[in-house]
C-alpha cells in the first residue's frame, strides 16, 4: 500500500493524513451463494439473481435471470463485486437481489465504491486471484484488503464528485449505445432481407428492384503483402495491418497513423478499394470490410483486397460485406479452428445485392455520417473515462 498518506489533489479545507484500514473492518461483506439451478426462472416477479459480471452493465445490475430460491441477499444500494473471472469488477444494485457465488455484496458509500474501482484499475484484485486455474477471490482476500480512508466529510465530497462524473460517463455511453442500435436497425432496413429484392426503407426517388450477381463478376482481387507488428516504426510509409480492422477502423479508412519502412514489391492502395481480413479469431468477426479511400497506403499481409467496378461504390460494398446476408454467407465459408481463414475464392462467390450507383452513394453517405457521429460520441466517452482514471490516480492515496 502507498506509504504516502495524502493524495496529490484534494478539495479545499482537507489536510489531514489518510489512515490505512482493512476493508472488512470498515464495511459489511456478504459472499454470494448460488441457488439451485432448478430455481432459475425468467419471471420478473421472482427474485433478481446476480451471478457475475454478465449481470452488470455500465456499473449497474441489469436484471437478466430470476430465481424462486433465496440464498444470500444484496439490498438496493449495495455495492456488487465480481469475485470470479473477471475478479474485481465493480457495480451497484438499485434492486433487492439474490447473489450467486460469482459475486459479493458490500455495504459501503460512494467513496468505498470508487476506492474499489481504483484498486481494480491498478490490478490489485487480479494479483490476488492469480495462481489458481480459475481466477477467483475468497472472503479473506476481500476482508483483508488494505484501503486508505480519510475523514467522513472528505469521503462524502469525493463520493459526490465521482458520482457526478460517472453520471456524465453513463449519459455519453447511452448516447453511444443508442446510435449503435440505430445503425444496426437501419442496416437491417436499408438492405434487402433474404428472398427479397427491395429494402424496407429507401431514399425518396428510388424504387427499382435491386440486382444480384456474384462478386467475382464485378470486381478484381489480390492480397496484401507481409508485414507484422514488429515492422512498425514511429514514422515512414503508412500501413494497414489486418488486425487493425478489428480494433481501429470502421467502414471507411481515410487516415492511418501506423508506419513501416516499405519493402520492395509491396501492395499500395490506389484509393476506393475494399479490404477484408484473411484471418481472424471467429467466423463472425472475420467477415468485415473497410473501404480505403486514400491512395499510397501500404496494405499488409493477410488482407484480401477487392477492386470493385465503377458501378459498385466501395463504401456500399464494404457495408454489404460487413452486414446482413453477405456477412452471414461469408461467416459460413470461414474455415479453421483456433484461427479462421477467408480466401479470395470465398469472396468471389458472394452474392451481392445492389441498386443503381446513385442509390448506393446515398446509402453510403447516410452511414458515413452516422459513423462520424458514433465516433464523436466514442471519443467523448473515452475522454471522460481517461479523466476519471486520472482523477482516481491523483485524488486517492
Tens-digit pLDDT profile for the chain (397 aa)?
555 689 999 999 999 999 999 999 999 999 999 999 999 999 999 999 999 999 998 889 999 999 999 999 999 999 999 999 889 999 999 999 999 999 999 999 999 999 999 999 999 998 887 655 567 899 999 999 999 999 999 999 999 999 999 999 999 999 999 999 999 999 999 999 888 899 999 999 999 999 999 999 999 999 999 898 899 999 999 999 988 888 888 899 988 999 999 999 999 999 999 999 988 877 777 778 999 999 999 999 889 999 999 999 999 999 999 887 777 778 777 776 667 888 899 999 988 999 999 999 999 999 999 999 999 999 999 999 999 999 999 999 9
Pair (345, 278) in one structural domain: yes
Q: In this structure, is residue 285 part of a structural domain?
A: yes
Q: The C-alpha cell of 109 is what?
A: 458509500
Q: Quick check: is 315 in a domain?
A: yes
In angstroms, rounded to a whole number, what is the distance separating the alpha carbons of residues 394 and 112? 16
Q: Give the whole-angstrom CA distance, residue 119 versus residue 40.
A: 33
DSSP structure class, residue 187? H
Per-residue confidence (pLDDT) for residue 332, from 0 to 100? 77
What secondary structure letter does DSSP report for 215?
Answer: G
Phi, psi angle pair for 44, to nearest 5°: -60, -20
Q: Residues near 339 by Cβ (< 8 Å), separated by ≥ 6?
A: 279, 280, 281
DSSP string, 28-92: EEEE--PPPGGGEE--TTSEEEE-SGGGEETTEE---EEES---EEE-TT-EEEE-BSSTT-EEE
Residue 4 lies in a domain: no
Same domain assignment for residues 294 and 175: no
Residue 80 within a domain: yes
Q: What pTM, to 2 d.p., does this model score?
A: 0.81
* pLDDT the model gives residue 334: 74
CATH number, domain with residue 264 = 3.90.220.20
What is the span of the domain harbouring residue 23? Answer: 19-149
Same domain, 140 and 229: no
Amino acid at each position: 500500500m502507498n506509504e504516502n498518506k495524502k493524495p496529490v489533489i484534494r478539495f479545499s479545507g482537507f489536510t489531514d493524513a489518510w489512515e490505512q484500514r482493512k476493508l472488512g473492518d470498515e464495511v459489511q461483506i456478504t459472499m454470494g451463494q448460488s441457488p439451485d439451478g432448478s430455481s432459475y426462472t425468467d419471471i420478473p416477479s421472482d427474485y433478481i439473481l446476480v451471478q457475475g459480471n454478465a449481470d452488470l452493465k455500465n456499473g449497474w445490475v441489469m436484471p437478466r435471470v430470476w430465481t424462486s430460491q433465496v440464498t444470500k441477499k444484496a439490498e438496493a444500494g449495495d455495492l456488487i463485486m465480481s469475485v470470479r473471472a473477471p475478479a474485481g469488477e465493480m457495480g451497484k444494485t438499485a434492486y433487492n437481489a439474490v447473489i450467486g457465488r460469482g459475486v459479493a455484496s458490500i455495504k459501503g458509500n460512494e467513496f468505498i465504491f470508487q476506492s474499489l474501482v481504483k484498486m481494480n484499475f491498478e490490478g490489485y484484485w487480479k494479483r490476488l486471484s492469480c495462481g489458481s486455474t480459475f481466477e477467483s477471490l475468497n472472503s479473506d482476500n476481500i476482508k483483508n484488503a488494505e484501503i486508505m480512508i480519510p475523514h467522513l466529510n472528505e469521503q462524502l465530497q469525493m463520493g459526490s464528485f465521482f458520482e457526478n462524473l460517472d453520471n456524465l460517463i453513463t449519459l455519453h455511453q447511452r448516447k453511444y449505445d443508442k446510435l449503435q442500435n440505430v445503425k444496426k436497425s437501419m442496416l437491417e432496413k436499408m438492405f434487402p432481407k433474404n428472398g427479397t429484392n427491395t429494402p424496407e426503407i429507401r431514399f425518396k426517388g428510388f424504387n427499382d428492384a435491386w440486382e444480384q450477381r456474384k462478386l467475382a463478376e464485378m470486381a478484381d482481387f489480390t492480397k496484401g503483402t507481409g508485414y507484422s507488428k514488429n515492422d512498425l516504426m514511429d514514422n515512414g510509409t503508412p500501413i494497414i495491418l489486418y488486425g487493425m480492422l478489428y480494433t481501429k477502423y470502421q467502414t471507411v479508412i481515410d487516415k492511418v497513423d501506423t508506419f513501416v519502412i516499405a519493402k520492395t514489391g509491396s501492395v499500395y492502395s490506389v484509393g476506393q478499394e475494399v479490404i477484408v481480413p484473411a484471418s481472424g479469431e471467429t467466423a463472425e468477426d472475420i467477415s468485415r470490410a473497410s473501404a480505403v479511400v486514400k491512395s499510397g497506403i501500404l496494405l499488409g499481409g493477410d488482407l484480401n483486397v477487392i477492386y470493385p467496378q465503377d458501378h459498385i461504390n466501395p463504401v456500399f460494398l464494404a457495408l454489404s460485406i460487413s452486414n446482413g446476408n453477405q456477412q452471414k454467407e461469408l461467416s459460413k465459408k470461414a474455415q479453421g479452428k483456433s484461427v479462421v481463414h477467408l480466401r479470395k475464392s470465398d469472396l468471389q462467390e458472394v452474392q451481392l445485392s445492389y441498386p443503381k450507383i446513385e442509390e448506393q452513394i446515398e446509402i453510403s453517405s447516410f452511414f458515413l455520417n452516422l459513423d462520424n457521429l458514433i465516433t464523436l460520441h466514442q471519443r467523448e466517452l473515452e475522454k471522460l473515462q481517461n479523466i476519471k482514471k486520472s482523477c482516481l490516480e491523483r485524488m486517492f492515496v
